[in-house]
Structure 1
């Protein structure tokens, strides 16, 4: 380099300093590599920024693409059919988010798809032999922990083949042939979709300046139903209470939002 010191002398100085020796030696090696291979170094440190959709139309298109991967065009038609009936842009934006959240509940088929997608991304970043372990909590295999939540266990790369088979069976989702569709959580998720569609149909004729805030809050309410298992059940119970409050406001013709939360 430009310093009149040998490589061995610099490394010895780092060791004698005694502070984070391994990390500093590694940083020194990386610095030398970056000088010798500036283009490769630039590619490594350049942030991989994903630009999120900004306009309402872009946000809807983004979710249409996701629903296509999630299930297919039939679910997309269901999604866009409801949105096409909404003229108010604020309500439509809230519904675009809330309705999508309900339609794309994360079941076994979606977990399999996302795990395989993550695997492909990780494999592209590494060279040589590649293996991946999965940490999952199948209710039928792991049981529940002291906190009432399903316990996670580790699965090896052998799970990839069953996961691929599972993704091909996603068309069974929501049908009588869906083996996972009979659990209490899946039944709740399907019921929430139908309830949401009925609510949106009811409140649209009541939309005016006095009810608009409550309608928007109702349309985006599904975003509050997060998590899995007991966590999701608890959030759904809170959302159900809030739903009744908002519907009462809308049916009353637009009572103050503060009263709806009392």
Structure 2
């Protein structure tokens, strides 16, 4: 899309085909998830890592090793595109979802979504809510409300799991900034293979954060413990 192309323009021309492919797939998703500015911020952060990682004595290396940039590209996206209520609504309306439903179950098959929003659970709702075709207008309205995400008007954002998801994103962005600053200060040549391997392991840690609600929160605890261990090893 034109919006995705504009966001992707922030990735340097020196980036490898692999990194460009990884980023391009995710830029489209982030534009749809939030907006073009959100996707452009993602590209800018990945490019900052790639730029710091591939410079040696102020000169780009050739070929340019990009394991850290690739790890950040995959895992920053994971934290930026967490599946909240707005995103679930958008995905439920995705034409590809409807096409896949017809392919798997036959033309005219009807899907019913079973949802249990954390905000409603916190208010005491014990059972999941079933959403069928008649709920689609409400889902369209909810999907259009994505711009409320993370603002004081985001009623879903007050749930514990949503607050934690935003905290994880802020923490990861801060980590990436620190790694970039460190590389710019010392240069990749000033960091041995052990440091670089630990940095990549840190960047890949969000893959631990899987599941929903209580399962996810338990994995967050493990994630933060491992983060503290690796940051101590990084020095």
TM-score range, shorter chain: 0.7 to 0.9
CA offsets per residue over residues 130-157 of structure 1, 9 Å max, x none?
A: 533222223455689xxxxx75343332
- Alignment map for 1:197-236 (pairs within 5 Å): 197-204=173-180, 205=182, 208-209=191-192, 210-236=194-220
Q: Which runs of 5+ in 1 are unaligned?
A: 1-53, 145-149, 252-262
8 A Cα contact 2:118 2:156, kept in partner: no
Secondary structure of the structure 2 residue equivalent to 1:181: helix
Secondary structure of the structure 2 residue equivalent to 1:135: strand
Q: Which residue of 2 aligns with 1:39?
A: none
Q: Which residue of 2 aligns with 1:121?
A: 99
CA offsets per residue over residues 87-134 of structure 1, 9 Å max, x none?
A: 33100000001100100010000111112226532465444x553322
Matched, 1:132 2:116: no
Q: Which structure has the larger Rg over C-alpha atoms? A: 1
Task: Name the structure, 1 or 2, with higher relative contact order (CA <8 Å, separation 6+).
Answer: 2
Q: Which residue of 2 aligns with 1:165?
A: 141
Q: Count residues in correspondence.
A: 193
Match of 1:55 among 18, 24, 29: 18
Shift of 1:159: 1.4
Shift of 1:61: 0.4
Q: Matched residues in 2 for 1:189 and 1:141: separation?
A: 18
Q: Which residue of 1 aligns with 2:224?
A: 240
Secondary structure of the structure 2 residue equivalent to 1:177: coil
Secondary structure of the structure 2 residue equivalent to 1:235: helix
8 A Cα contact 1:142 1:153, kept in partner: no
RMSD: 2.4
Q: Which residue of 2 aligns with 1:184?
A: 160
CA offsets per residue over residues 219-259 of structure 1, 9 Å max, x none?
A: 111111011110000100000000001111111xxxxxxxx
Q: Matched residues in 1 for 2:132 and 2:122: separation?
A: 19
Matched, 1:107 2:84: yes
Q: Matched residues in 2 for 1:224 and 1:107: separation?
A: 18
Match of 2:73 among 96, 112, 115: 96
Q: Matched residues in 2 for 1:191 and 1:174: separation?
A: 11
Q: Which runs of 5+ in 2 are unaligned?
A: 1-16, 54-65
Q: Which residue of 2 aligns with 1:250?
A: 234
Q: Which runs of 4+ in 1 moved over 6 A?
A: none
